Amino acid sequence: MTSLPTADPYLPGHGDPSWSATHYALDLDYDLVSNRLAGTAVIQAVADEDITRVVLDLAHLQVQKVTVDGKAPAKWAHRDHRLVLTLKREVRSGQAFAVQVKYAGRPRPVVLAPHGDAGWEELSDGVIVAGQPHGAPSWFPCNDRPDDKAPYSISVTAAQNYTVVANGALVGRTRRGSGETWRYEQDEPMASYLATVQIGRYRLVEDDGDGIPILGAVPEGAMAGYTRSFGRQREMLDYFSEAFGPYPFGRYTAVITDDALEIPLESQSLSTFGRNYLTGRWEEVRLVAHELAHQWFGNAVTLRQWKDIWLHEGFACYAEWLWSEAGGYESCDTHARRHHARLARLGKDLVLADPGPAMMFDDRVYKRGALTLHALRLTVGDETFFRLLRTWVARHDGGTVTTADFEALAAEVVGTDLSGLFDAWLRGLPLPALP
Parse the chain into domains and list their residue ranges.
Answer: 1-198, 201-295, 302-427
As beta bridge partners, residue 28 has 39, 156
Q: What is the pLDDT of residues 10-65, one digit of tens each?
A: 999 999 999 999 999 999 999 999 999 999 999 999 999 999 999 999 999 999 99
> Rounded CA gap, 412 and 31, in Å?
53
Asked if 180 contacts 173 with a C-beta cutoff of 8 angstroms, the reply is yes
User: What is the separation, in whole angstroms, between the first and last Cα of the chain?
Assistant: 54
Amino acid found at 60: H
Q: Read off the pLDDT band of 306 (50, 70, 90).
A: very high
Whether residue 297 is predicted with pLDDT greater than 80 in this model: the reply is yes
State mean pLDDT over 346-350: 94
Asked if 379 contacts 421 with a C-beta cutoff of 8 angstroms, the reply is yes
Helices 403-414 & 382-396 angle (0-180, nearest 10)? 130
Q: What is the pLDDT of residue 277?
A: 97
SS (H, E, C) 300-321: CEEECCHHHCHHHHHHHHHHHH
Q: What is the pLDDT of residues 284-293, one digit of tens each?
A: 999 999 999 9
> Rounded CA gap, 391 and 395, in Å?
6
Q: What is the pLDDT of residues 233-254, one digit of tens each?
A: 999 999 999 999 999 999 999 9
Number of Cα atoms under 13 Å in the Cβ half of residue 388: 24
Mean pLDDT over each residue of the chain, to the nearest integer: 97
Which stretches of 327-427 are DSSP H helices? Answer: 332-344, 363-380, 382-396, 403-414, 419-422
CATH superfamily of 302-427: Neutral Protease Domain 2 (1.10.390.10)
What percent of the chain has pLDDT above 90?
A: 98
Q: Is beta strand 19-31 parallel, antiparallel or unpaired with respect to 36-47?
A: antiparallel
Q: What is the fold, at CATH topology level, of the domain defined by 1-198?
A: Immunoglobulin-like (2.60.40)
Q: What is the pLDDT of residues 88-103, one digit of tens each?
A: 999 999 999 999 999 9
> Rounded CA gap, 149 and 401, in Å?
12
As beta bridge partners, residue 171 has none
Using alpha carbons only, give the angle 277, 283, 288 rounded to the nearest 5 degrees.
60
State mean pLDDT over 335-356: 97
As beta bridge partners, residue 98 has 44
User: Does this chain's domain 1-198 share its CATH topology with 201-295?
Assistant: no
Q: What is the pLDDT of residues 365-408, one digit of tens each?
A: 999 999 999 999 999 999 999 999 999 999 999 999 999 999 99
> Rounded CA gap, 394 and 296, in Å?
10
CATH number at 201-295: 1.10.390.10
Whether residue 2 is predicted with pLDDT greater than 80 in this model: the reply is no
State mean pLDDT over 96-124: 97
Whether residue 138 is predicted with pLDDT greater than 80 in this model: the reply is yes
pTM score: 0.97
User: Residue 241 phi/psi, 5° resolution?
Assistant: -65, -35
Q: What is the pLDDT of residue 208?
A: 84
